[in-house]
Structure 1
Amino acid sequence: MSTLNVSYIMEITRRDFAERFAGSVLGSLWAIIWPMVNLFIYIVIFGKVMGARLPGTSQMNAYGIYLAAGLIPWTAFAATINRSASVFLEKKHIITKVNTSFSSLLLHINLSETITYGISMLVFFIILVFQGYDFHGSFLLIPFLYYLQQLLALGLGLFAAVLNVFIRDVREITGVILQLWFWFTPIVYIPDILPSVLQKFMIYNPAYILIQSYHRIFVFNDYPPFKALVLLTVMTHFVLFFSFLMLRYLEKDIRDFL
């Protein structure tokens, strides 16, 4: 297996981020404009104009914060998996000509989505500061939550990427699964509206544990469910280990098949 090249990863990450806005007049400024527009819709429109409320909190814009706290991490998580699923096929012109590390191709997607996530979170924090939001000590756990979610996305994305080389339908299947996964996870609704049967199965949804942790921190000024996070951490590292083991076993076949 090829070794990682940090400078190469940083370079393709820079290119990936720049190419998103190539040819536009404002260029990379759109990376700031879009989060501002989205957060304005989440917090101002849903939170104040529509007067949405959440049980357990008296904040006027609690639902807007609830939406933003769930959608920002989910967007990074889902985009990482979805883009990773087709990365080997999209970069086959590089893979077949240069001895490129497959891991580098996955990591550059993760880093690129991290930049978008970081900008969105920064804008979110600025809006909260201007609203006089009372920050809680649990906010210190946000970097760990992001690390965990992107590690899981890396493992799942790598698994999908390997399968997609041999079964081209995997990319489309991944998109369908992510769409269903989004609606099975309480991001735009509260878990209490689900039937009791589904609520019992929700604890087996890793995205629910992550999003619930963000909601507890941002909306309820509380700490995440530590026991669930410990179990999720173990599962995440197992998924990542299994995916890399599969990649190592099939790397030669992948290069030949491409």
Structure 2
Amino acid sequence: MLKSIWNYRHFILASIKGELRGRFARSRLGALWFILHPLAQALIFSIVLSEVMRAKMPNMTNPAAYPIYLLSGMAAWGLFSEILMRSMNVFIEQAAALKKISFPRLCLPIIVWGSALINHLLLLVSIAVIFLFFGQYPGLAWLYLIPGMLLISALAFGIGVFLGVLNVFARDVAQAMAVVMQLWFWFTPIVYVKSAVPEGFQKLLRFNPMAPLVELYQNALLLNEGPSWLGILPPIVVGACMVLLAFTLFRRASADLVDAL
């Protein structure tokens, strides 16, 4: 399966380029829309909660600490949610192509992953520019975002492909996951700081694999610090298991995938 994907690598790259061009077609702002949407959402949260959260971050002397904290978390979550949700629906969205064209079906979520990663890099560039206005200059800790992106994308890819196969046979999966993602977002310290959570609920956060990955982004962008490698061990294990589980399920269900569509 991996060998067939490698043989179709030019098809994957061409599809990623074609998808990006298709999104930008007849749009005057083009790629800016992928940046403006998360920035606008972060701006709304900053305006509404900046005074409240500033009191919850007593060790921060920078008045822009909360907006930087929020943008960092939103960037990490945006990459995760885009890969997961689009991978979960990609087989249904591309049903016509799957029925007419012969190619490795796993190429579709890989194309989604590549497109989402490019969007994420554009967002990080825009965030870096915004941070300059806050007086927050990028440091070497930004390099920790590279393993962070890999871990987040692997976790999202594994869950997305696994649910994407199930979604072909039971369309309620996508509807249920839309609700789960909303709850998962608020269960992750993005809008609020972890120290503001009661002690009993902080123990529950340990079962959230996205919490340490979001914290990785927040530490790198706000504090210019590296992650706790022991802390990100659980998401590494969960991500690896989900990728293996997704590959196993996909391989078994691949033959019946087109018929179910």
TM-score (norm 1): 0.89
Residue of structure 2 aligned with 1:6, choices 6, 9, 12: 9
1:1-258 to 2 correspondences below 5 Å: 1=1, 3-4=4-5, 5-31=8-34, 33-34=36-37, 45=47, 53=54, 54-258=57-261
Change (3 A) 1:58 1:74: same
Moved more, 202-211 or 190-199: 190-199
**Runs of 4+ in structure 1 displaced over 6 angstroms?**
none
d(CA) in 2 for partners of 1:39, 1:179: 16
d(CA) in 1 for partners of 2:144, 2:222: 14
Q: Does the 8 Å contact 2:210/2:235 carry over to 1?
A: no
d(CA) in 1 for partners of 2:61, 2:146: 27
d(CA) in 2 for partners of 1:47, 1:3: 49
- How big is each residue's C-alpha offset from its partner over 1:195-234, in whole Å with a ceiling of 9 and x where there is no partner? 3221111111011011111112222232211102233212
Q: How many residues align?
A: 256
Q: Give ranges in structure 1 of 5+ residues lacking alignment.
A: none
d(CA) in 2 for partners of 1:106, 1:119: 20
d(CA) in 2 for partners of 1:89, 1:165: 7
- Which residue type is aligned with residue 122 of structure 1? V
d(CA) in 2 for partners of 1:176, 1:131: 35
Moved more, 192-201 or 119-128: 192-201
d(CA) in 2 for partners of 1:129, 1:47: 22
Q: CA-atom RMSD, angstroms?
A: 2.3
Deviation of 1:130 after TM superposition, in Å, equals 4.2
Deviation of 1:183 after TM superposition, in Å, equals 0.6
d(CA) in 1 for partners of 2:38, 2:176: 28
d(CA) in 2 for partners of 1:175, 1:230: 27
Q: Give ranges in structure 2 of 5+ residues lacking alignment.
A: none
- Percent sequence identity over aligned pairs: 30
Aligned partner of residue 230 in structure 2, secondary structure:
helix
- Which residue type is aligned with residue 4 of structure 2? T
d(CA) in 2 for partners of 1:110, 1:91: 15
- How big is each residue's C-alpha offset from its partner over 1:92-129, in whole Å with a ceiling of 9 and x where there is no partner? 11111122212210011111111111111001112223
Q: Does the 8 Å contact 1:81/1:156 carry over to 2?
A: yes
- How big is each residue's C-alpha offset from its partner over 1:172-194, in whole Å with a ceiling of 9 and x where there is no partner? 11111111100110100112222
